[in-house]
Chain A
Amino acid sequence: MIRTFLTATIWASAVFLGQPVEVFADDKFITVASTTSTRNSGLYDDILPKFTKDTGVSVRVVAVGTGQAIRTAKNGDADVLFVHHKKSEEKFVADGFGVKRLDVMYNDFVIVGPKNDPAGIKGLKNAGQALTKISTASAIFASRGDDSGTHKKELGLWQSAGVDVSNTSGGWYRETGSGMGATLNTASAMSGYAVTDRATWLNFKNKGELTILAEGDPMLFNQYGIILVNPIKHPHVKAKLGQTFIDWIVSIKGQSAIGAYRIKGLQAFFPNAK
């Protein structure tokens, strides 16, 4: 009995401990700083293998909030920045950290909330109106509160609706300080409202009582941009390989791969590189 267990242990050790692992980094790969929402949509799992097959270059995606992704790229810890907050991206290039910003694709944000809709926003095509109704009703709203692209978009929407949320944090307006998934988990548990990108929502497996209540406002438009980290600022950056990735993503091959990606039969991202 004991002998069997020990033999099994030795076998298992051989299987697991024998796995080859690159303890340090090898050469033909690039590091892309991107966002959790993009990763959670499953897009990368779908299109990156196609890129690697075409070029032999593998892509390591570090998925964090937009703010942290930009900081990572600024520090030179990534070769390419791929996020969805045009203002921050343009500033990134203007400050000399990036070479050039290119449009890649877009999708949209939606406002989700509990099926019973206490704030009565169902069917609204105006985000500002919907948010005003939520604040009037003091309905629970889960914000990412993490300086991400989604968070900045959400704050922009409150601002244009004329609602000041800075003083209500902890009341009906709840800042989770975490990624989209965690925020949606919280919204689901609290039967609250939230702003989320459509792709994450389609893939999200813990919807509970939540459903899409408001969508279609042009203000909810979500544009993705890609930037090569400036090799003049950070000489170690893999500029050539990084550019290969950018070239592929805006090429017909990359753009059609993006367009072909489906979540539950629905197109999640719309390629719009120029």
Chain B
Amino acid sequence: MDDFSTAISAAISMVIQLDPDLTEIVGLSLQVSMGAVLIAAIIGLPLGAAVALFRFPGRGGIIVLLNALMGLPPVVVGLIVYLLISRAGPFGVFGLLFTPAAMITAQVILVTPIIAALARQVIEGLWLEYEDQLRSLGAGPMTALPTLLWDGRFALITTVLAGFGRASAEVGAVMIVGGNIDHVTRVMTTAIALEVSKGDLSLALGLGLILLTLSTAVNGAVFLIKDMAEKRHA
């Protein structure tokens, strides 16, 4: 219990003083996770919609695969990316290991299946409702794809938020491919892991509280925007 109160005061003082190490770490965390989610959404939303709308051999298998990949262990993804971009690996020449670019790459791999699988679900439901009318107007699956993505935008925002939640909370992938290098690749989750390994549990907990607050703030902001937009457009 002692740890908790120390943690809360540690967190508050870091935030109030705008501790420069903290702002740097928070900034990098947001840039990496938001960057990854943006890329994952650009890939995953149309991918999920395509799987929802088109019929092709093996479709059932792809759906099962996408759903299963939602549970990809971050540390495994980190390991695979590490093996690929290490100097000893096939893409070593780009020197990506231990950079934020590597961290973003790993998180894109983690998040894309989540967005795609959930988007598939949303779009499939919409297509059920819209198919007859859209086909009557002359819009087949190909034409309807962007229409449905836009029409389902509120449900899809939640999908993207799920992806962000996964990205900002994971430590396994970014630790391995980023190396938790001070001022370079240290993010909230790896900083927490570091403080735990140094036995500074209160500080770790404090950082954890800040991370939670951050995540809540992001979700809160998105919720408000969504709410306002929904009221205007139903």
Contact = CB atoms under 8 A, between A and B. Distances in A.
A185 interface: yes
B175 to A, nearest CB: 10
A68 to B, nearest CB: 10
Interface stretch (A149-157, A200-208, A241-249, A250-258): A200-208
A260 interface: no
Question: Number of contact residues on B: which range applies?
Answer: 35 or more
B201 A21 contact: no
A36 interface: yes
A181 interface: yes
Contact of A17 (B34, B99, B100, B225): B34
Contact of A77 (B27, B86, B181, B225): B86
B51 to A, nearest CB: 31
Nearest to B89: A75
B88 A22 contact: no
A77 B97 contact: yes
B129 interface: no
B31 interface: yes
A222 interface: no
B88 A181 contact: no
Contacts of A44: 182
Nearest to B179: A62
Contacts of B88: 74-77
A186 B185 CA distance: 27
Interface string B85-113: 01111001101111111001000000000
A61 B182 contact: yes
Interface string A203-228: 11111000000000000000000000
Contact of B23 (A19, A182, A188): A19
Given A16-B23, A61-B182, A181 B199 contact: yes
Contacts, number: 108
A141 B26 CA distance: 38
B92 A17 contact: no
A180 B197 contact: yes
A42 to B, nearest CB: 9
A13 B225 CA distance: 15
Given A9-B221, A76-B88, A236-B87, A21 B100 contact: yes
A145 to B, nearest CB: 15
B200 A206 contact: yes
A182 B198 CA distance: 8
A40 B197 contact: yes
Contacts of B100: 21-23
B27 A40 contact: no
B101 A182 contact: no
A80 B225 CA distance: 49
Interface string B22-61: 0110111011001000000000000000000000000000
B220 interface: yes
A181 B197 contact: yes
Interface of B: 23-24, 26-28, 30-31, 34, 86-89, 92-93, 95-101, 104, 179-182, 184, 196-201, 217, 220-221, 224-225
Given A75-B89, A77-B88, A205-B198, 5 more contacts: A16-B30, A24-B96, A75-B87, A181-B197, A184-B199
